Amino acid sequence: MEKEKLITLENVSKHFHVGPRQTLVAVNNVSLDIYKGETLGVVGESGCGKSTMGRVVMGIYHPTKGKILYRDKEVNLKHTKDRFAYSRKAQIIFQDPYASLNPRMTVGTIIAEGMEIHNMYDKEKRQQRVYELLETVGLNREHANRFPHEFSGGQRQRIGIARALAIEPEFIVCDEPISALDVSIQSQIINLLKDLQNKMGLTYMFIAHDLNIVKYISDRIAVMYLGNLVELADSDEIYDHTLHPYSKALLSSVPIPDPDKEAQKKAQVLSGDVPSPINPKPGCPFANRCPNATDRCRKETPVLKEARPGHFVACHLV
Partner 1 sequence: MNSKQLMYILKRILYAAITVWALITVTFFLMRLLPGDPFTGGKAIPEETKQALFAKYGMDKPLWEQYLIYFGRILQGDLGTSLRNGRAMTDIIAESFPVSLELGMRALIFAFIMGVLLGIVAAVKRGTVWDSLTMFIALIGVSVPSFVVGSLLQYFLGLKLMQATGVQVFAVVGWADMNSKILPSFALAFGSMATISRLMRTSMLDVLGQDYIMTAKAKGLSQKAIIWKHAVRNALMPVITVLGPLVAALLTGTFVVENIFTIPGMGRHFVQCVQQNDYPLIAGTTMFYGAFLVLANLVVDILYGLIDPRVKLTGGKE
Nearer to partner 1, 11 or 102 (CB): 102
Stretch that binds partner 1, among 2-10, 109-117, 125-133, 189-197 (CB under 8 A): 109-117
What is the closest distance, in whole angstroms, from the C-beta atom of residue 38 to partner 1 in the complex?
21
Nearer to partner 1, 29 or 87 (CB): 87
Is 84 a binder of partner 1 (CB under 8 A)? yes
Per-residue binding string, partner 1, 133-162, x by CB under 8 A, is --------------x-x----------x--
Query: Of 167, 164, 130, which is closest to residue 145 (Cα–Cα)?
Result: 130
What's the rounded Cα separation, in Å, for the pair 291 and 284? 13
Beta strands in the chain (DSSP E): 5-19, 22-35, 39-43, 65-70, 73-74, 90-93, 171-175, 203-207, 220-225, 228-234, 305-308, 311-313
Nearer to partner 1, 163 or 244 (CB): 163
Burial label, 18 (beta-carbon count in 10 A; 0-12, 13-18, 19+): exposed
Is 163 a binder of partner 1 (CB under 8 A)? yes
Contacts 24+ apart (CB under 8 A), 212-218: 212/254, 213/178, 213/186, 214/41, 214/42, 214/43, 215/41, 215/239, 216/190, 217/39, 217/41, 217/190, 217/193, 218/39, 218/40, 218/41
Nearer to partner 1, 17 or 308 (CB): 17
Per-residue binding string, partner 1, 21-60, x by CB under 8 A, is ----------------------------------x--x-x
Query: Of these, 167, 205, 226, 249, which contacts partner 1 (CB under 8 A)?
Result: 167
Q: Are 44 and 224 in contact (CB under 8 A)?
A: yes
What is the closest distance, in whole angstroms, from the C-beta atom of residue 91 to partner 1 in the complex?
6
The residues binding partner 1 (CB under 8 A) are 55, 58, 60, 80, 83-84, 87-88, 91-92, 94, 96, 99-104, 113-114, 117-118, 147, 149, 160, 163-164, 167
